Every structure is written in structure tokens, then in C-alpha cells.
Amino acid sequence: MRITAVLVPLPVRRVVGHELRVLASLLRWSTRRVHGVRGPHDRAFGHARDQAAIMYALTFVCVVEAYGMSVLLRNWPTLHMVTLVLDVYGVVLMLGIHAASVTRPHILSPDALRVRQGAHRDLRIPLAVVAGVRAERLFTHEPAEGVLDLPVASTTSLTLELTEPVTAVGFLGGRREVTTVRLHADEPALLLAALRERLAHPHAGAN
């Protein structure tokens, strides 16, 4: 493992890891299994519903493109095969990205809220550092110091304010401290109520 870490740059390992998680999500999606629910008191809250139409439309476009390129390159067998493999892999990845969002929901456990954004964002926030949570639907998100935005279809619906920073790891491995987290949930009112209940009774369900 140490040799791999030295020879393979972190961004490359992060990209490969992301694609492996995406592909694994397809299998999990086909068997209707959810990633991250470990205990009887863990609750899952989905965040993929609002992007479904967009993802299926993009997948359809990829399929049409793959067919078109297959027809155009039929007289060049080698190029045709290479392009076909890449196009098919692109379609699989597109479906896998959506599958990752479906099978990797936000997880509320007795002591933490695990927020995700598909296969490339996964942040555990201890409930002990959550100062407050509010319903706040935002459609634009300007980069700001100490703020982590996890939009779905360009939308966030809940905002968490923290009493102390948590470390968020970016897609390529970059790390930064955040004290505000904005996320989206399919049913934001349910997540808001459940989170407030856990914050009000921090020891409920811990045993």
C-alpha cells in the first residue's frame, strides 16, 4: 500500500477509487442495497430523485451518440471497436453515477450525520458539533470560505451550521475545513425533523 501511494499520485488514486465506487454502485443498485446503513438506529435519507430525469436524459444522449459513431466508423474496424468500447463505458459510468447517488444516501446515526454526494463526497459530521440546522432552498452557490455545498440538480435544501470545523475531502484529495454545510435531500422536512430530534435527545438510540 505504501509503495502504491508513492508511485501513484493521489489524484490518480482518487479518480480510480471513484470509478470503482461508481461501478460497485451499479451492482448495489441492481440488488436494492443501500451503502452505509450499519446499525438498527441508522436512518437513510435519499438525495437522488431530483436529478433522475437529467441523468436518464444524458444517458439516452450517450446511447444515441454511441450508435451514431458506430454507424459512421463501421468501415474502420479498429477505430470502430475502440470508440464503441469507450462509448459503452461512458454509458455505464453515466448510469453508475446516478446509481451511486441512489445507493449512497445521507445517513443519520445516533451520533453523526453522514452526508454524501454520489460517490465522490462523503463527510461524517458529529452531531456534537452541529449548532443548528434549517430548511433553506438555494439554487445558486457562490464559493465561500468555510462553506461546503453539496447540490443536487443545482439545488440545496438544508443548511447546517457547526460549532467547530470538520475536514472535507475534495474529489482529487484536497482538504479544507468547513463550518457550514449545505446539502439536498429528497424529503428535506423529514431529515430536518429527524435531525432536530436527534439533537434534542443526543443519547436516544445510542445503546
Residues sharing a CB contact under 8 Å with residue 173, sequence separation 6 or more, in sequence order:
10, 11, 13, 14
pLDDT for the residue 204: 64
Mean pLDDT calculated for residue range 126-154: 93
Indicate the helix (H) or strand (E) that contains 112. Answer: strand 112-117
pLDDT digits (tens, 9 = 90+) for 79-118: 989 999 999 999 999 999 999 999 999 999 999 999 999 9
Q: Give me the mean pLDDT over the 143-153 stretch.
A: 93
The pLDDT > 90 percentage for the chain reads 71
Cell numbers at residue 66, please? 454511441
